Amino acid sequence: MALLIALLAVSCKQKPTEEKGAPAAKKQAPAGIGANETLGFPLKLGERFQPQELTKKLARADFPVQVAAEDATDRLVPGTLGDGTLYFFLTPDPRTPELVGGLKVSVDLDTAKAVGLITEERRNDLVQEARAKADSMSADDTFLARYTAAEAQLAAARNPEVARTAEGLGIGSAKADLIAAYGETKDMAFESGDTTLIYRGQDAAVAFRLTLGVVRSVTVFPPDYDYLQFLEDTAAVLSGKPIEPLEGEGAGE
């Protein structure tokens, strides 16, 4: 249960606190966002949410995926990636829980330690490395923001080929790289001081959450779903609460 507890704790810490994102609407796919972008994971949104089958698929990824099978449920398939400093969780579409609806990838050194992929000594070394990097950044920003950005950059450097978009973007990427690949977007959200840029493809949307212009987490979700509403509904699903379909919304619309 260590990974499940760690992931839920991180999820709670990152609960959105500011304004809603842009109204949910299908938009023309920008260059680079494929019809069903899933960060290189061998699955797609809208397929059946069957944890055992999904676990088998994840084992065929081109990068290391460690599924926490003992923590998988009919609402969550969690695990870690690469050297363990990245984690992911796969969740159902809250409106149609029998189908895959969400994939989140983020970074957290404590999660890696909690599941035994890195030792406490190694975790402490990495924390010190991230702190040193944060100290080299502008003192105009809070240390927490600098540390968060540094931790993302550190994890990306340790896992350069893990969970990237078709354009090679993911954890640790810079805002300028996102704009160069996908263009400017007015579809964005604000989460506890972070800015999230959202790009929508034909069958999937990708949200890049940035701290100080550095991607700290990536979420793939249905393109017709408001991003912050999706996070709220997913949190409710993970807590065991049923979600009633919103009027005018539904899978496949």
Q: Residues 1-45: pLDDT tens digits?
A: 545 544 454 544 444 444 444 444 444 444 457 677 899 999 999
249 is a domain residue: no
247 is a domain residue: no
34 is a domain residue: yes
As a whole number of angstroms, the distance between CA 109 and CA 90 comes to: 19
252 is a domain residue: no
Task: Provide the pLDDT confidence category of residue 245 given band limits of 50, 70 and 90.
Answer: low
66 is a domain residue: yes
pLDDT tens digits for range 143-191: 999 999 999 999 999 999 999 999 999 999 999 999 999 999 999 999 9
As a whole number of angstroms, the distance between CA 203 and CA 24 comes to: 13
Range of the domain at 166: 2-238
Average pLDDT over every residue of 37-55 = 94
Number of domains in the chain: 1
Q: What is the pLDDT of residue 135?
A: 93
42 is a domain residue: yes
What is the pTM assigned to this prediction? 0.84
Asked if the model's pLDDT at residue 216 lies above 70, the reply is: yes
Average pLDDT over every residue of 78-85 = 91
229 is a domain residue: yes
